[in-house]
């Protein structure tokens, strides 16, 4: 189960103001969390730059649970998407983020593209709102001390995405299924950050052990913001 709460001071720097985001907590005693989406919007501020991790702790192993009918892992190759084309995990490569003096880096260790949302639909909400397609991304950072999983959902309209996000906020934590085998089994930081952007919903789950705890919240906020902002511009057509 998830303990739902807002985190004041979260940076949500969405381009164009077209999205919202909120945190959900994972209990440290629950090694296989699932997704619930709170509906309120947190306050915004700039996170502080990350600090150097303590290398003393070793990363833990991940559980074996995963969504049903999951495609095999494919290489972490990045391919520029055409506006309006179906989403695929190949649009996303290793994450290398730099903004002023703030830098984050994570290796893409898995990617899955689904031709429908059925494999990640836990309670039928995605089908009811005509979710068209889904992808999952798995990342590893700080020598495996931090793991991130993203579920990205595509809908026919902006309103369908917003309606889905609002509805998921009122349901139990198994409304969306994700690759739990790509999270840490033991962690001191375990949270979910989710939001709607245009006709997409982005859900980011991050777990971190003691040595990566100090970087986890900023890493989490920037990863969610970066990929949510991507969808603000993805389907725009630029004409001369």
pLDDT 10s per residue in the chain (240 long)? 333 222 323 333 332 333 445 566 665 544 444 444 433 333 333 444 444 344 333 333 333 344 544 444 444 445 667 888 999 999 999 999 999 999 999 999 999 999 999 999 999 999 999 999 999 999 999 999 999 999 999 999 999 999 988 887 777 667 889 999 999 999 999 998 888 999 999 989 999 999 999 999 999 999 999 999 999 989 887 665
Radius of gyration for the alpha carbons in the chain, expressed in angstroms and rounded: 16
65 found inside a domain: no
Q: What pTM does this model have?
A: 0.72
For the chain, what is the domain count?
1
Nearest to 229 by CA among 240, 221, 237: 221
212 found inside a domain: yes
169 found inside a domain: yes
178 found inside a domain: yes
Quote the domain boundaries for residue 103.
2-45+72-81+88-233
145 found inside a domain: yes
């Amino acid at each position: 189960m998830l303990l739902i709460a807002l985190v004041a001071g979260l940076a949500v720097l969405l381009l164009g103001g077209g999205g919202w985001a909120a945190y959900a907590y994972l209990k440290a005693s629950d090694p296989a969390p699932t997704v619930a989406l709170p509906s309120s919007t947190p306050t915004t501020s700039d996170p502080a730059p990350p600090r150097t991790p303590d290398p003393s702790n070793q990363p833990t192993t991940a559980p074996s649970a995963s969504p049903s009918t999951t495609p095999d892992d494919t290489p972490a190759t990045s391919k520029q998407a055409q506006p309006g084309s179906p989403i695929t995990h190949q649009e996303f490569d290793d994450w290398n983020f730099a903004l002023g003096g703030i830098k984050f880096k994570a290796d893409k260790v898995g990617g899955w593209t689904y031709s429908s949302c059925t494999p990640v639909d836990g309670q039928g909400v995605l089908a009811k709102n005509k979710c068209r397609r889904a992808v999952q991304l798995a990342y590893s950072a700080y020598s495996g001390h931090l793991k991130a999983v993203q579920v990205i959902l595509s809908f026919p309209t902006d309103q369908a995405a917003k309606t889905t996000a609002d509805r998921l906020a009122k349901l139990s934590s198994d409304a969306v299924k994700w690759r739990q085998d790509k999270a840490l089994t033991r962690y001191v930081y375990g949270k979910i950050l989710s939001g709607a952007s245009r006709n997409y919903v982005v859900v980011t789950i991050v777990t971190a052990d003691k040595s990566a705890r100090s970087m986890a919240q900023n890493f989490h906020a920037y990863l969610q913001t970066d990929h949510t902002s991507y969808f603000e511009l993805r389907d725009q057509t630029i004409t001369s």
